[in-house]
């Protein structure tokens, strides 16, 4: 039995490393430059900060929370020994892939633990499969840094709730989405006070540090910078406009130089984008209230947290005016944790998420150029992907409603 477990662990680690290497290499091969943000945006931001120029999030407003600059600076430091061989861009890309792999490896080791249960092993296989199917976008975006933090934080909920809240809060200061995992943890857990204190302490430390560094009006720039965004073409709500373009209707795709993304230009598109912000807040609030009622009525953390976390994350994506392909990485942690906490009920969400990852990769980067011309096949692919997102939200709501309570 021990020999079988050791063999399974070796197989998992071998697949983990092989998948990361393959996905990293595919970033150099696939069309539409899926690692473009890393080399065209992250590297210049890092070089500017280290070279005495503008520091995003401190001296100027930024689209990301300020802690996102730390992994970018870390990758820049890691790239220095590679400069002579690969040049600035190549060295930074390799360093970024190495950083993501190293962080994933730490969380992967925590996931497997000393003697991995069947649920933990299944979660590990799921993680590798999701990364492989989603492709380079799963590594070459800042979202990739938050995935291992979300997995580690979720794993510590039962044994170290304060540490879990601190790690998830740090993740939210890199990319906002782990914040809903904190909400789910506080609602479903029994150590709410400790988690709230830990989250508040981490936030306070970050805010004080930023103020001392000179950030004032830029402190919440990552929130204000999002308000002017239009309706991105991959967003769920943009699907009808794409079909309008397929039919030759009065709609088109435009590139925003301010936010560096492709958006819908059509009558009503801006109105839809405005409505989505309020709809997102309302949906998240309703889901959180349902979870709170379940918790108040005695639902256990193991049964309540996974569907609550996945439903909140899915709600963020379905009601979002942005539909970036890397958003699919947000599903990895909730589903992996669902396998750990409640393996029997995690299978259907996992299958849907793997399908979403595969469809997303087919859309971006593999057929993205055709999508920008509103050609039929990629629009069909994107429509199916977006319908599956709605199905996943409905499935999460149903699972949340079925969580048993103990009066």
Note the pLDDT tens digit of each residue in 223-273.
777 666 889 999 999 999 999 999 999 999 999 877 778 999 999 999 999
Q: What is the pLDDT of residue 215?
A: 86
DSSP assignment of 173-197 equals: TTSSTHHHHHHHHHHH-S-HHHHHH
Q: What is the pLDDT of residue 1?
A: 47
Q: What is the pLDDT of residue 260?
A: 76
Rounded distance between C-alpha atoms, residue 340 and residue 123, angstroms: 7
**Is there a domain that residue 261 lies in?**
yes
| Cα dihedral across residues 359, 362, 365, 369: positive or negative | negative
**Both tokens of residue 100?**
């993501």
**Is there a domain that residue 26 lies in?**
yes
**Is there a domain that residue 407 lies in?**
no
Q: What is the pLDDT of residue 334?
A: 98
Q: What is the pLDDT of residue 6?
A: 65
**Is there a domain that residue 106 lies in?**
yes
- Residue 331 belongs to what domain range? 2-401
Rounded distance between C-alpha atoms, residue 251 and residue 399, angstroms: 38
**Is there a domain that residue 338 lies in?**
yes
The closest of 165, 150, 148 to 108, measured between CA atoms, is: 148
Q: Which residue has the tokens 């200061």?
A: 173
**Is there a domain that residue 112 lies in?**
yes
Give the mean pLDDT of the chain. 94
- pTM of whole model > 0.85? yes
- Residues of the chain predicted below pLDDT 50: 1, 4
Q: What is the pLDDT of residue 2?
A: 55
**Is there a domain that residue 77 lies in?**
yes
Cα-flanking dihedrals φ and ψ of residue 12, to 5°? Answer: -65, -45
Which residues pair with residue 253 across a beta bridge?
Answer: 264
> How many structural domains compose the chain?
1
Alpha helices in 228-268 (DSSP H): 239-246
Q: What is the pLDDT of residue 4?
A: 47
Cα-flanking dihedrals φ and ψ of residue 291, to 5°? Answer: -65, -40
**Is there a domain that residue 406 lies in?**
no
């Amino acid at each position: 039995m021990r020999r079988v477990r050791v063999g399974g662990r070796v197989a998992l680690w071998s697949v983990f490393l092989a998948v990361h290497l393959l996905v990293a290499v595919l970033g150099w091969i696939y069309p539409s430059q899926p690692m473009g943000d890393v080399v065209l945006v992250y590297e210049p931001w890092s070089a500017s900060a280290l070279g005495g120029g503008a520091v995003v999030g401190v001296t100027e407003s930024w689209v990301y929370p300020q802690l996102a600059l730390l992994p970018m600076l870390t990758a820049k430091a890691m790239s220095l020994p590679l400069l002579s061989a690969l040049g600035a861009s190549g060295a930074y890309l390799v360093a970024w892939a190495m950083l993501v792999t190293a962080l994933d490896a730490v969380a992967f080791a925590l996931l497997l633990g000393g003697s991995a249960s069947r649920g933990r092993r299944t979660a590990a296989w799921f993680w590798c499969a999701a990364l492989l199917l989603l492709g380079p976008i799963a590594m070459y975006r800042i979202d990739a840094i938050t995935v291992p933090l979300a997995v580690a934080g979720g794993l510590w909920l039962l044994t170290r709730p304060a540490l879990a809240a601190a790690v998830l809060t740090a993740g939210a200061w890199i990319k906002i989405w782990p914040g809903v995992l904190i909400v789910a943890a506080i609602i479903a857990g029994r150590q709410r006070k400790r988690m709230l204190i830990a989250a508040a302490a981490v936030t306070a430390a970050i805010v004080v540090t930023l103020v001392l560094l000179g950030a004032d009006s830029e402190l919440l720039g990552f929130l204000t910078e999002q308000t002017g965004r239009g309706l991105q073409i991959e967003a769920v709500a943009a699907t009808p406009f794409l079909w309008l373009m397929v039919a030759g209707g009065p709609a088109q795709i435009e590139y925003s130089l301010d936010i560096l993304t492709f958006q819908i230009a059509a009558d009503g598109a801006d109105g839809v984008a405005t409505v989505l912000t309020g709809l997102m807040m309302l949906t998240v609030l309703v889901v959180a209230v349902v979870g709170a009622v379940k918790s108040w009525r005695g639902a256990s953390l193991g049964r309540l947290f996974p569907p609550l976390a996945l439903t909140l994350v899915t709600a963020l994506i379905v009601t979002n005016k942005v539909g970036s392909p890397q958003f699919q990485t947000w599903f990895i942690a909730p589903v992996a944790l669902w396998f750990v906490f409640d393996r029997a009920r995690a299978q259907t969400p996992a299958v849907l998420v793997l399908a979403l990852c595969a469809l997303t990769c087919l859309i971006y980067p593999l057929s993205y150029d055709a999508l920008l011309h509103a050609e039929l096949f990629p629009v069909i692919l994107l429509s199916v992907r977006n319908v599956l997102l709605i199905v996943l939200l409905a499935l999460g709501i149903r699972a949340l409603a079925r969580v048993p309570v103990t009066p």
